[in-house]
Copies of this chain bind each other. A is one copy, B any other.
Amino acid sequence: MIPYYREVGDEVEVFDLCYKNRLPLMIKGPTGCGKSQFVAAMAARHGRPIIKVACNEDTTASDLLGRFFIKNMETAWQDGPVVRAVREGAILYLDEVAEAREDVIVVLHSITDHRRELYIDRINESLSAPESFMCVTSFNPGYQSGFKEMKPSTRQRFVTLALGYPPPEIEIEILIKMTGVAPAVAKAMVALADGIRKQPQLGLRETISTRLLIYSAGLINGGMHPRKALLHGAIESLTDDAKIIQALKDTAALHF
């Protein structure tokens, strides 16, 4: 079953061309805007399995490539996700790759080279990525501090696709499709989200995502009053600042 994905711009064309030309792709965009959903849909579209790694500041090359384990007095090699993806010709999806440790770059360089070869020194094995293998990474420019910024020598190895929150009419469509919430409620929720997103003076680290709207819609469907659903499903997840929470509740009250 192909996961639901509602195209907003030319993202499908970009993905298809990268897949065809075997170019690595980097997707950038804010949290909860649908990056993972998009990659899942594209993987299904091309009939390939997807192998996803949520990178973090402890992710190392070994986490990606694999490790030896000692089992019952014998050593066994366990492929890591990157090696599995190369072997299976899967879509490898490294989520928030900018968070990973630097030695992950070695791996990225190997599989984004025009040779697309991976040498795993521990098992002395060289793998050539099959045609169906594709490397997709994502990161969130909103977090880019000087410290964690990806080096240009890494970024310039990828075709880059910028995603954002969908425009209102599409976000309404998504909410209805994914949660079955009433159209009027979806419309009011998106109007509220749109208003919040246009208020940078709120000082939110990240603004309200499509995912939080989906959560809130889930609570509403369960019988909770929309104001309370938005408070627990979205507002309290956005900030801990009492004044901003009150401002967001007041804004929500205008729509419901």
Is the CB of A247 closer than 8 A to any CB of chain B?
A: no
Q: A54-62, A165-173, A186-194: which one contacts chain B?
A: A54-62
Contacts A237-B155, A240-B144; is A102 near B103 (CB within 8 Å)? Answer: no
Given contacts A26-B237, A222-B21, contact A56 B156 (CB under 8 A): no
**CA A160 – CA B228 in complex, angstroms?**
11
Interface hub of A71, A81, A153 (most chain B Cβ within 10 A):
A153
Within 8 A of B (CB), among A157-215: 157-162, 205-206, 209, 211-212, 215
Give Cα A200–Cα B237 distance, bound, in whole angstroms: 25
CA distance A14 to B236 in the complex (A): 13
A15 to chain B, nearest CB (A): 10
Does A232 sit within 8 A of B, measured CB to CB? yes
Stretch at the interface among A41-49, A104-112, A126-134: A104-112
Q: Is the CB of A236 within 8 A of B60?
A: no
Given A153-B32, A156-B209: A222 in contact with B54 (beta carbons within 8 A): no
Closest B-chain residue to A56, C-beta based? B102
A237 and B54 form a contact (CB under 8 A): no
Nearest CB in chain B: distance from A213 CB, A: 11
Q: How far is the CA of A153 from the CA of B212 in the complex (A)?
A: 11
A23 within 8 A of B: yes
Q: Are B21 and A106 in contact (CB under 8 A)?
A: no
Inter-chain CA distance A192–B69, complex, in Å, is: 52
Asked if A60 and B60 make an inter-chain contact with CB atoms under 8 angstroms apart, the answer reads no
Question: How many copies of this chain does one complex carry?
Answer: 6
The residue that A17 contacts in the complex, of B20, B28, B70, B222, with Cβ under 8 A, is B222
**CA gap between A228 and B162 in the complex, in Å:** 12
Which residues of chain B are near A149, meaning CB under 8 Å? 205
* A144 to B240 CA separation, bound complex (whole angstroms): 9
Chain B residue at smallest Cβ distance from A72: B74
Q: Does A5 contact B (CB under 8 A)?
A: no
A-B contact pairs, 10 of them (CB 8 A): A17-B224, A31-B152, A54-B105, A54-B110, A57-B102, A58-B103, A69-B75, A70-B70, A152-B205, A156-B211
Please list the residues of chain A having a beta carbon within 8 angstroms of any beta carbon in chain B.
10, 13-14, 17, 20-21, 23, 26, 28, 31-32, 53-54, 56-61, 68-75, 78, 80-81, 95-96, 99, 101-103, 105-106, 109-110, 121-122, 124, 140-144, 149, 151-153, 155-162, 205-206, 209, 211-212, 215, 218-219, 221-224, 228, 232-233, 236-238, 240
